[in-house]
Amino acid sequence: MNLTLIIKAGMHADARHRAALRFAEQAINDGYTLTGVFFYADAVSLASAAAANNPYSQSWCGLAGQHHFDLVVCHTAAERQGIEQFNPAFEPAGLTQLVSWMNTADKVVTLS
């Protein structure tokens, strides 16, 4: 079963990111394949080059590397927040990428 995650919480929402990471790990352990994680709204701050040392950014990067799924950041939301440079592990893209994932996913979960 394919799962797409949408993350909306800002980088300082510790409890929300811990819960989102636990959710993703449990979904993988339960046999889901993550089609990708889309960072939107305030969550785009995790994808900035300046946040490369943030523990949640590092955790998402590690999980994605281990389980081979993409981390995508909404470039329009990032531009609105003045983010111009991204952590290389995050791919800037638009909502078209999210819609493409949603079309192939069995489930889409938004965590904010």
The CATH number covering residue 23 comes to 3.40.1260.10
- What 8-state DSSP symbol labels residue 108? E
Number of domains in the chain: 1
φ, ψ for residue 106, nearest 5 deg: -80, -30
**Residue 43 contacts by C-beta under 8 Å, 6 or more apart in sequence?**
7, 8, 9, 10, 11
Question: What is the Cα 111 distance to its own chain's centre?
Answer: 10
pTM reported for the whole predicted model: 0.96
pLDDT tens profile 23-64: 999 999 999 999 999 999 999 999 999 999 999 999 999 999
Residue 95 domain boundaries? 2-111
- What 8-state DSSP symbol labels residue 106? S
Return the SS3 of 22: helix
Which percentage of the chain shows pLDDT scores above 70?
100
